[in-house]
A and B are shown apart, each in its own frame.
Chain A
């Protein structure tokens, strides 16, 4: 199993550009989520999904869109990048979100918006 994979590892964007951060898992996990990590602020939940076709907002959803058309993939879209979105983005998955299940994290995508 590859676990949780994220692409790209690094990305530099100009303000106003759009892009999609890819996340995939091969563990047949129902629950997937996106976090951003900023210095001194820990991880903050952006969006999450409890299964294919179902998504919901987390703590900081503004400026980001998600969709979940398959169990395996959970892409995160930035429609018009802003410098405030400079961060490290982590995707995570687990068997289910409504009871204890270990969340498995991807290696992260480091995004810089100029």
Chain B
């Protein structure tokens, strides 16, 4: 079946950029998503990218998609302490969202 993989942890200094990476196996993905989960809460959609795009920018967020390598990344510019959370990559496939394991981002001063 389809698989989505992420590294589990990322630690960055406040003000630096964060880059969270994701790889997926589904070659027929139409949409790929980034969700954010804050402690004790459900998931919230951060951004998404359509599979025929290479890049999408939304304020401090930049999503890069490399379809050939099936690699997706989320860059957060000027990372703040409020960005500390778990970030999930997800792949949309035929009525289902397949989530990665999540990357826990820790921002230190």
- Residues of A at the B interface (CB closer than 8 Å) are 4, 31, 33, 35, 40-45, 48, 50, 56, 58-59, 90, 92, 97-100, 102-103, 105-108
Contact = CB atoms under 8 A, between A and B. Distances in A.
A24 to B, nearest CB: 14
Given A42-B99, A108-B40, 13 more contacts: A31-B95, A42-B4, A43-B88, A44-B99, A50-B95, A58-B96, A97-B95, A100-B30, A100-B31, A100-B50, A106-B42, A107-B40, A107-B42
Chain B interface secondary structure, helix, strand, loop or mixed? Answer: strand
Interface residues of B, number: 25
A80 B94 CA distance: 31
6 contacts: A43-B88, A58-B96, A59-B98, A92-B43, A102-B48, A103-B97
Nearest to B1: A59
B97 to A, nearest CB: 6
